[in-house]
Structure 1
């Protein structure tokens, strides 16, 4: 099991990348999306990935999560090296060890909230741990909505279902790609609070790509990318500190602080 030492303590690494590169095209059309990136995502820690548009933040998440291939380097989820896996093995790893939350809720409209939550385990032929499932449903406040279909739920409630679905199988790590991007500030704050609580109370590991400094302030750590490279990281972030750092990145923003779908200032 891979470990990492930070601030004098050793913690287990849930996922890591080493010298990770992703290159699109050749010759004049060649684009380096990731340029020898090395990063650890530690167990029971909430990490936000930020950077200007085109910095490589979504590409990094997609490569580490096994959703995209990489050109060189290595990626590990726990003790499993992704580069050595065949397609079927990669599909099984994503199903069994990784949870996903996207900007689009990706719920099946004909299924109830509970059926959507347990769907990945149903497909895998596994029965959920009922005690764990109850704790997840209670945490996201869905106990009285389990028989409702997505069309009967608000956007915030639908994303709660998506959060519960990601947590229900007790994955080793959860990846979120702008998970509050389609929500208003109140609903976004609720979803971020649930992710924060899942780390604190359930020992979950969360990695989230976001452009929003307020959303990033819920994380334990923010990793900043620019031009396909990690250029900085901040622990115990506030929204103001994140915004200030973003402004100083190559291609960074000078816009005022947004609360797009998050709703908590640092």
Structure 2
């Protein structure tokens, strides 16, 4: 039986509350790349941290691998995130004084867990960083830095990876590199990846696209075409970011 839907409210001042997520019930399956899209204020940036246990729902439940995240204490949440959940951030969140290799291995070192060198070499090979491991972030391009962040998220082989606008700071070529890597993770390693994006190009790489508006899911699209996604985005022009870019984009497998 699916878990009860999550409801998240945020305070505004002392006596006003806004509903950020309104009774959303959704499951994310292994081996699937899901894009969450919607205009600013739609709730997409709240749904992801709620699913990851970073934000607790006002009511309802959140499950990861059959474990109820929404009822866990902070210590339990920390342990769960270290083992089952990976994060990729728009701003990369790399430590500037560490090399690419050190950044990738940092979560394992913090958790005092041994490094599986065979898996490390495989992940590094997938992201194409074999010749950049001794470089610091300032010596890497934006796309390379994001690939370091992707490799870091992969190292503990989490059940699910949450990516918050992973291509928001990248040029089109670097975006394709990162999105292609995320698809490869899903196809080759059975990862479940949930990506928040306002970019129809990025959404077109996904197997599934959820569209949020006013805290509710308004569309759940299975393997949509780029034109399908573009039509939906055009209906939800973002007043903060302006209308979507309607230039055609090639989808990479």
What is the TM-score with the length of structure 1 in the denominator?
Answer: 0.88
Distance verdict in 2 for CA 1:65–1:264, change over 3 Å: farther
- Structure with higher strand content: 1
Structure number with greater CO (CA < 8 Å, separation at least 6) is 2
The residue that corresponds to 2:113 in the other structure is 126
**Other structure's SS at 2:194 match:** strand
Secondary structure class of the residue paired with 1:244: helix
Cross-structure match for 1:225: 212
Task: Identify which of 226, 229, 236 aligns with 2:223.
Answer: 236
Distance 1:251 1:109 in 2: 33
- Partner secondary structure for residue 152 of structure 2: helix
Deviations 1:126-163 (A, max 9, x none): 11222222111101000111111111111111111000
Q: Which residue of 2 aligns with 1:70?
A: 57
2:126 is aligned with 1:144:
no
CA distance in 1, matches of 2:15, 2:180: 45
TM-score of the pair, normalised by structure 2: 0.92
Give 1:96's match in structure 2, choosing from 65, 83, 87. 83
- Change in CA separation of 1:140 and 1:212 when aligned onto 2, cut-off 3 Å: same
User: In structure 1, the residue corresponding to 2:157 is in which secondary structure?
Assistant: coil
| Residue number in structure 2 paired with 1:18 | 4
User: Do the aligned partners of 2:92 and 2:149 also contact (CA within 8 Å) in 1?
Assistant: yes
Could you report, residue by residue, the CA deviation over 1:63-87 in whole angstroms, capped at 9, with x for unpaired residues?
A: 0011112101000000110122111
Equivalents in 2 of 1:68, 1:77: separation in Å? 14
Aligned to 1:212: 199
- Partner residue in 2 for 1:257: 245
Runs of 4+ with deviation above 6 angstroms: 250-254
Report the Cα distance in structure 2 between the residues aligned to 1:258 and 1:76, rounded to whole angstroms: 37
Question: How does 1:81-92 map onto structure 2 within 5 Å?
Answer: 81-92=68-79
Q: In 1, Cα distance between the equivalents of 2:25 and 2:57?
A: 13
Distance in 2 of aligned mates of 1:24 and 1:254: 25
Instruction: Supply the distance in 1 between the matched residues of 2:146 and 2:242 (Cα, whole angstroms).
Output: 30
Q: Which runs of 5+ in 2 are unaligned?
A: none
Measure the CA separation in 2 of the matches of 1:47 and 1:134: 27
Deviation at 1:258, TM superposition (A): 5.4
Cα distance between partner residues in 2 of 1:71 and 1:143: 45
Partners of 1:17 and 1:213 in 2: CA distance: 30
- For the pair 1:38 / 2:38, whether they are aligned, the reply is no
CA RMSD of aligned residues (A): 2.1
Q: Displacement, 1:17?
A: 6.0
Task: Structure 1: state its 5+ residue gaps.
Answer: 3-15
Partner of 2:152: 165
| Deviation of 1:245 (Å) | 1.6
Q: CA deviation at 1:19?
A: 1.2
